[in-house]
Structure 1
């Protein structure tokens, strides 16, 4: 997107002696400061003996489904402690050992991502499900990296938002598989759970196509690359969500199909937009969807649907394309407006996505107030980045796009993808809008949207969460390695704000904590 820079978790009181990290001490605080992780923990009850990792420690796991998590956890512990740590099936550990299991957590909301850490002579990690058990290991790794002994007590933790994401614009700048794997490891360490891959844009379609080999860029991912990446991400409790953007941002595809490019009445040709009045355009788009939907086993497919009439820096009007209005009236009735052809395309693509057992998603900017006679399916998730709408100047802070509250009232779930501060743009003039991490940490949370409106608690139950959206408007400016280094702190801030309160102190304290927990093991 060239011009773009959850349910709320129930808050419970686990015990009268609990110390939340808002800084309120308990009567037993003399045992030492509460343990600190990134993102910060929801609740801590101090007491009892502390834990030190044994020189020949075992990570005991009580079911085969935890084997990978236990094995990876043991390897990570060995890498930074030097201790002889191995994973072993079983359920009862001794002093200096760690146990890993799943089961009911009565002091936490009902989410599979909740977990509890009981700290004593044995470190007991328990998740509500596999995801929670994995997050317990992430927290335990961070705690043991900061100090060799953890004070006795009980941690109870859970996320506020269902989605805590990272989006990478690999359509404009190809990012090698090893770089993607490194970001997945980061995500698992920070309890982020959705990797959104923007797979097609100005500089390429990044998937190897059997049906249309002509559309694949020179640098692309093979189908086996994707299968391996999906499996790798699953070990870190990360779901991969693909996006192939229709009907705009299709430069990489349309370069091989110039006959399908959108042409105005005066002969102006768009390199980015496909002609949605041409039936053959739907044949090409259907082929792409049908080929790649089965490749990704996750719950979602992102249809894009943003900036359809944006051509370079110029924003066009539907009036310039009379064939679109004619198609809309012929397809949806004499009262149809030109925008109905666009809305109908979203519903058409959404039907194909649903037929493959997935849930469709789109960006929000093409959904205008009081525009069109059609409505899009209420099950479509809206990623809300801009209050602008086409046609008009694309200024994301105000405009004619439907508001977040209006979309929620219409039955949609949303993700807060605000142009500021969730966007990190690597290259191009829009990079000037990147918000410094201290500001994002101090003034923003996922209830605050790009137009300055804030959701009510009830509305926020329909907010899936937020993420960091990395756009590569000018792919010549930064290499993938430089991008990875540059997003280190923005990604840590994203993890904190989407996991939810309490915050980890001031930004200076948060920054020091980020240094202390470090990066995950390779």
Structure 2
């Protein structure tokens, strides 16, 4: 990751403390020393994100050291302890043994007490003294207690004695990522899962494309292989992060139906809409159901997100009169075109329910123009202010999640103003267009990372931009939204906690800046002298002897990104702001000393050499990546 936003903790006001001490001399019957006053003052809780809301300070401290063991006495607590041991090793704390024997001073005890109803499914109790004891009523709660411990150990091996019962206020605490159209590296996503769990966030929405066996015609680049998804889901299960898949429909379907004109909506002028599914066709629903089935092979989550947003973006139903005809044929003369849309949503809901999954949708399709209601129990994620307000949705019995646009981070565009939200004491009751007074009916909230301009920023820049929003949403969904007096104090808290153990540094360039001879192992290209220069966001530019920079720019553009496999990579005029000239160097996994894979920071395709020596880009699963050597000149 990039170096995070770092802010010095606010300094104390010595003058104010002095005035308080002088006043105390006049207001008490007997003089009180400053030392004794400090003894009576409640100790501030140690810094964590989310903050500990019920800290009761004790005397002394706990010391983590070479003799520390993890004590866990049943199968569930041992599983939590083993994950903690993995993370302690990743944090550089060595191998801490897991035992079921009696505990001793210096040990960490992980326990499950299913009878402790105070803790619910995710809460935990932490007791710090000669031993450090973590108790959850369920596995997830005990796991979250270990995240608090890791945050404390990241700051010091000595933890002040005390006790807390820490329980989240909201059930859903999340991050949404649109790996739609563009591709986001699995390394980046795995880092996100680890950091989410470290901050007690529990739901990751992924709008993405899984490479399809049933519909190979839909496999335009931007996809993930099923093996990649299985690995990511397994990591999520280990770290108690539920990964919810989304295939947006019936709008934004062009990644799936751009080569299926038979399923595209056609307007009165005969123009087909590659992004819109024709909801009046039974074949369209059958196609979408088959995608749900295929995703079910790799996503075990109980949720299915169908998007259902912006179906008529840039147009209106009047251009598609057959949609109204379809609605009236099903629901009578008073039906509206919107009823056809809701009908499609409800048919997807019924199919997902038959697969054991609950439906989630975005809110902007619920305009109030429909006479047919969305099926009860459908979770509505509210991101945009439309006629139907969150309070109305809750009154109608729909679970509502706050996914406010003010929480978005858009590549090359809008970035959430976390400082402003913090100072306003934003919490999940604050929706776009409405502030509620009660938490009732609100499932939680999430930040959203969207690539509206796919080349506007690199993954590493997005990670940097999302660092404080992620900390803020973790705080606002778990506990009080304002644990520190000001945003600088909260930023210092987040900085002290840092990133999760095991998070990879994706900004590391394995070679130093300098001049190299670039050659491919297959000897298909003529070796060239290049200058390698690290970029501020942790990639590299390659400049040839003529002063031109290596760039991928040709082929079909999607979200301003050239995503056509096999398209040319060329030498172009250097531009430090051009993200298409940034490359990630990865040492060859085959162990070929000096060999590297070179991947575009934006397209996530590898630099490859053709048999005739041309430079092209390809997804790594379509063509074995070329191994490049860079020999210091």
Query: 2:374 is matched with which residue: 370, 373, 376?
Result: 376
Structure 2 residue 276 is the aligned partner of structure 1 residue 273: yes
Structure 2 residue 71 is the aligned partner of structure 1 residue 86: no
Structure 2 residue 184 is the aligned partner of structure 1 residue 175: yes
Q: Which structure 1 residue ranges, 5 or more long, are not aligned?
A: 1-25, 200-205, 389-399
Structure 2 residue 419 is the aligned partner of structure 1 residue 438: yes
Q: Which secondary structure does the structure 2 equivalent of 1:43 belong to?
A: coil
Kept in 1, the 8 Å contact 2:76–2:112? The answer is no
For the residues of structure 1 that align with 2:40 and 2:77, how far apart are their CA atoms?
Answer: 34
Structure 2 residue 398 is the aligned partner of structure 1 residue 412: yes
What does the per-residue CA deviation read over 1:138-177, in whole Å, with 9 as the maximum and x for residues that have no partner? 1011112222211211111011110110111101321121
Q: Which structure 2 residue ranges, 5 or more long, are not aligned?
A: 1-36, 503-633
Offset, 1:456: 2.6
Alignment-derived partner of residue 254 in structure 2: 251
Which of the two has greater helix per residue?
Answer: 1
Kept in 2, the 8 Å contact 1:249–1:308? The answer is yes
Alignment-derived partner of residue 494 in structure 1: 473
Kept in 1, the 8 Å contact 2:65–2:157? The answer is no
TM-score of the pair, normalised by structure 2: 0.71
Alignment-derived partner of residue 146 in structure 2: 137
Alignment-derived partner of residue 323 in structure 2: 324
Kept in 2, the 8 Å contact 1:63–1:89? The answer is no
Alignment-derived partner of residue 477 in structure 1: 456
Alignment-derived partner of residue 342 in structure 1: 341
Q: Which secondary structure does the structure 1 equivalent of 2:435 belong to?
A: coil
Query: 1:450 is matched with which residue: 424, 428, 432?
Result: 432
Aligned length: 464
Pair 360,80 (structure 1): closer, same or farther in 2 beyond 3 Å: closer
Query: 2:389 is matched with which residue: 390, 393, 403?
Result: 403
Structure 2 residue 229 is the aligned partner of structure 1 residue 230: no
What does the per-residue CA deviation read over 1:299-323, in whole Å, with 9 as the maximum and x for residues that have no partner? 210011000011xxxx212111101
For the residues of structure 2 that align with 1:479 and 1:502, how far apart are their CA atoms?
Answer: 30
Structure 2 residue 409 is the aligned partner of structure 1 residue 424: yes
Pair 33,279 (structure 1): closer, same or farther in 2 beyond 3 Å: closer
Q: Which secondary structure does the structure 2 equivalent of 1:111 belong to?
A: coil
Query: 1:508 is matched with which residue: 480, 488, 513?
Result: 488
Offset, 1:449: 0.5
Which of the two has greater strand per residue?
Answer: 2
Kept in 1, the 8 Å contact 2:84–2:146? The answer is yes
Q: Which secondary structure does the structure 2 equivalent of 1:95 belong to?
A: coil
For the residues of structure 2 that align with 1:119 and 1:158, how far apart are their CA atoms?
Answer: 17
Alignment-derived partner of residue 575 in structure 2: none
Q: Which secondary structure does the structure 1 equivalent of 2:84 belong to?
A: helix
Q: Which secondary structure does the structure 1 equivalent of 2:181 belong to?
A: coil
Kept in 1, the 8 Å contact 2:381–2:403? The answer is yes
Q: Which secondary structure does the structure 2 equivalent of 1:86 belong to?
A: coil
What does the per-residue CA deviation read over 1:69-119, in whole Å, with 9 as the maximum and x for residues that have no partner? 32232243344464x44231315321111011111575x745211001100
For the residues of structure 1 that align with 2:345 and 2:393, how far apart are their CA atoms?
Answer: 15
Alignment-derived partner of residue 351 in structure 1: 350
Query: 1:150 is matched with which residue: 144, 150, 159?
Result: 159
Offset, 1:66: 3.2
Kept in 2, the 8 Å contact 1:325–1:338? The answer is yes
Structure number with greater Rg is: 2
C-alpha RMSD of the superposition: 1.9
Structure possessing the higher relative contact order (Cα contacts under 8 Å, 6 or more residues apart): 1
Pair 295,74 (structure 1): closer, same or farther in 2 beyond 3 Å: closer
Alignment-derived partner of residue 467 in structure 1: 446
Offset, 1:493: 1.0
Q: Which secondary structure does the structure 2 equivalent of 1:214 belong to?
A: helix
